[in-house]
Amino acid sequence: MSKAIKMIATIAAILAITWFYVNPTDAGSWTKSELRILEELSIYSLPPLPPDVSNAVAQNIDAARFGHSLFFDKRMSANRLVSCATCHSPEKQFSDGLPKGRGIGLSDRNTRTIVGSAYSPWQYWDGRKDSQWSQALSPLEDPDEHGGNRMYYARFISEDPEYRRVYESLFGSLSHFNDKKRFPDAAGPIGNPAVFSAWENMTTKDRHMVNIVFANIGKVLAAYQRLIIPGESKFDYYVEAVLQNNNDKAETIFTKQEIRGLRLFINEAKCTDCHNGPLFTNNEFHNTGNLSFPGEMPDRGRIDGVRKVLADPFNCLGPYSDDPTRNCPELTFVRKGAELIGAMRTPTLRNLEGTAPFGHKGQFQTLGQVLEQYNDSPLAMIGHNEVENPLGLSTSELESIEAFLNTLNSPLTTSPEWLNPPRLGISSIAVLQ
């Protein structure tokens, strides 16, 4: 055999061995650093629910049952036709499948899922709330969502016999609010001029009494929402097999396209810069140059969210927090600055199925459109796009990433009884005890 032939044979052998070990669609060719990332992304790395010391009933199962009933109760709205489940439907991953949430009116942003939201220190796209319970209060008074006022809700709880019984078992004595001179039919700091004027004419003490009940409504709703957690997905089963060095099993779980998409996700596409951890979100705020909803001005995002959360009387430092130490590092050391203009909170990538359209304004109809946006990296319409350079991925590569993202869909760990209205009516909690 000539030297040339021997050299060609040697090179061919080296290439074959190299391909065997670094084939990007081979389940057994992950590097040590990539394996660490896979383990960090796995649902099995999800820690126990973080405590919410600002909510004394966060872990109370009776509070969760109370919140479960309120969540599905359409009487918790001005027209008695809207409940929390109207926009956060269990059939749609606790979202609504609309560009923007629709309650009594049309909201100005896309409805975020509440699945796994207990793990985030911030709520809403702009993070204007710092707990689940304070977030749960806003829609109740938003004229485009539930459209009510806090005086109405406090009186509603006090007048419903079952709600009153459970409320008092959790929080102690509850006023009847039957003195209409002190407690008018409709009053609150948010709403039409008559509602606002009625609130301003109440004494500070009486407003505080109403606020306590209102805050406690949010706290039982949060106790329920803490139970909504994602379960194991196809991706998690794949990672488990890979980490156990069971490559044969891994290759029966993921297709070559899905493996390729996963590799791109954690490498060239740099998705894990923001979408990291077992919920595929860092819960931080980024301006990624997303275009505005047609006909609308760009959304200022986090820059306004910071101002709002600091001014919120229901925040961690406020008088309605149950934390006596007021130990609120996230709020105390909240990041500020012009770089937050146009920044939005990173959404989870788990359970995207059925939640389209995507984006803070619902401006992307498909996952493919979202990926094209990041691939092109356009100039931001407001602020500065942190994704400074186009990714330059091919259509085939983008399709592979999309295929991978679809492996993150899974059932919830939540018991089915929590995913439907209470069986014996919206005000009967006893059936769940």
Output the DSSP codes for 265-328.
HHTTT-GGGTS-TTTT----EE---PPPPTTSPPP-BHHHHHHHHHH-TTSTTSTT---TT---
CATH of 3-48+232-408, one of 1.10.760.10, 3.30.470.20, 1.10.3720.10, 3.40.190.10: 1.10.760.10
Give the residue ranges of DSSP H helices in 338-426.
367-376, 395-405
**Would you give the distance in Å from CA 385 to the centre of its chain?**
22
Distances from the Cα of 235 to the Cα of 36, 280, 407, angstroms: 15, 12, 5
Model confidence over 356-406: pLDDT tens digits? 999 999 999 999 999 999 999 887 888 888 888 899 999 999 999 999 999
Q: What is the mean predicted confidence (pLDDT) over 97-104?
A: 94
Identify which of 231, 216, 230, 229 has the alpha carbon closest to the alpha carbon of residue 172. Answer: 216
pLDDT at 41 over 90: yes
Cα separation of 269 and 266, whole Å?
7
As given in the structure block, the two tokens for residue 347 are 């959404």
The confidence score (pLDDT) of residue 421 equals 95
Identify which of 225, 239, 221 has the alpha carbon closest to the alpha carbon of residue 76. Answer: 221
The confidence score (pLDDT) of residue 16 equals 43
pLDDT at 135 over 70: yes
Whether the domain at 3-48+232-408 and the domain at 61-229+414-432 fall into the same CATH topology: yes
CATH architecture of residue range(s) 61-229+414-432: Orthogonal Bundle (1.10)
Residue matched to tokens 């909170």: 345
Taking a C-beta distance cutoff of 8 angstroms, is the pair 98, 362 a contact? yes
The confidence score (pLDDT) of residue 24 equals 56
Give the pLDDT band (50/70/90) at residue 423: confident
pLDDT at 98 over 80: yes
Query: What ranges do the domains of the chain cover?
Result: 3-48+232-408, 61-229+414-432
* Global pTM value: 0.91
As given in the structure block, the two tokens for residue 216 are 């406690």
Cα separation of 33 and 31, whole Å?
5
Q: What percent of the chain shows pLDDT beyond 90? A: 85
Dihedral (CA of 333, 339, 344, 349) sign: negative
Model confidence over 310-329: pLDDT tens digits? 999 999 999 999 999 999 99
Model confidence over 338-356: pLDDT tens digits? 999 999 999 999 999 989 9
